[in-house]
Amino acid sequence: MKKKNIVINADGAAMLADAIRRVSEPSRRAFLQRTVTLGGLALLTGCSTSDADSIDAALTGMSRFNDKVQGLLFDPTRLAPTYPESMITRPFPFNAFYGEDKVKEVDGDAWRLELSGLIADRKPWSLTRLRGLPQTDQVTRHICVEGWSAIGKWGGVPFSTFLRQVGADLTAKYVGFKCSDDYFTSIDMATALHPQTLMALTYDGQQLPPRYGFPMKLRMPTKLGYKNPKHIQAIFVTNTYPGGYWEDQGYNWFGGS
Ligand SMILES: Nc1nc2c(c(=O)[nH]1)N[C@H]1C(S)=C(S)[C@@H](COP(=O)(O)O)O[C@H]1N2
Ligand SMILES: [Mo]
């Protein structure tokens, strides 16, 4: 048993190291389709995806890689690692499908979160009303498939609290998001209800700055960066596969652990 496990560990580490090398290749689509669990592995090990050696070491130290780690990766109730505030990456990176000079400026007073689909109470929400719900915060690692990761602190409303409050059909398959910058994505209901999935209204204790998704973004430490929509304008609950901006171009839909 022990010997077999060591072999599997080495394979896993080699697969990951190979995947990390591919991050720098121009054709990232091939990389993304082959390495579904890279984000999840990096979350588990707490390593930067650009740090091949530390991931290698962490994986080699894990026993029963195949069964146990795979089980961890796909357990919807498993918590992603949290970090002390001293480990927050400053400045936290900006990323979008456009440059930082094109960041969407949303008017927070006029903004209303639109709700549709399998939701009982589809009345739009103002920012003030969202701020009135119970808030929590988390210091977690954001992992982008472009080959960087960073630790940040987000505060806001647990998404499960919100979904229950509006009477969303929690047995539905998907939750979809439409953003003010025409970005869009969607997640599975298990992830929507995950205890660390947050409707983030603050970053590092301040109102969410425009570049990080004002007025509201969805923060999920169990998912890769592109699954975390910024500038959310509308949320819908559905059983019809909604896809996403990058997902429709070949990025893996599950995109995380
Ligand atoms: N609305 C919107 N959300 C988005 C994106 C985007 O272009 N538009 N890019 C995604 C990607 S690929 C990443 S890595 C993160 C970057 O978030 P940050 O700017 O807070 O680091 O936002 C994600 N959510
Ligand atoms: Mo990303």
Q: Report domain extents, the chain.
A: 10-73, 85-249
pLDDT score recorded for residue 146 = 78
For domain 85-249, give the CATH number.
3.90.420.10
235-251 pLDDT per residue, tens: 999 999 999 999 888 78
Q: Which one of the ligands is nearest to 145 CA?
A: 2
Strands 114-117 and 232-238 turn out to be: parallel
Residue of the CA atom closest to atom 15 of ligand 1: 225
CB 80 within 8 A of CB 196: yes
pLDDT score recorded for residue 28 = 42
Residue 113, pLDDT > 90, answer: yes
Residue of the CA atom closest to atom 17 of ligand 1: 95
> 96 C-alpha vs ligand 2 centroid, how far in Å?
7
Choose one of 177, 228, 231, 233 to mutate for the ligand 1 pocket test, by most ligand atoms within 8 angstroms of C-beta.
Answer: 228
Closest CA relative to residue 234, chosen from 105, 119, 134: 119
137-188 pLDDT per residue, tens: 999 999 887 778 899 999 999 999 999 999 999 999 999 999 999 999 999 9
Pocket around ligand 1: residues whose beta carbon is below 6 Å from it? 93-97, 144, 179, 181, 183, 211-212, 225-226, 228-231
The region, left, alpha or beta by phi > 0 then psi within -120 to 50, assigned to residue 46 is left
C-alpha distances (whole Å) from 14 to each of 18, 57, 95, 161 are: 6, 11, 29, 41
Residue 67, pLDDT > 80, answer: no
26-58 pLDDT per residue, tens: 444 444 433 435 555 555 555 554 555 555 455
Mean pLDDT of 212-230: 95
pLDDT score recorded for residue 40 = 56
> 41 C-alpha vs ligand 2 centroid, how far in Å?
16
198-207 pLDDT per residue, tens: 999 999 999 9
pLDDT score recorded for residue 43 = 55
Report the chain's mean pLDDT, rounded to a whole number: 79
Which residue reads 């077999």 in tokens?
4
Which helix (H) or strand (E) segment holds residue 189: the answer is: helix 189-192
Tokens of 208: 């969410």
pTM of the model: 0.77
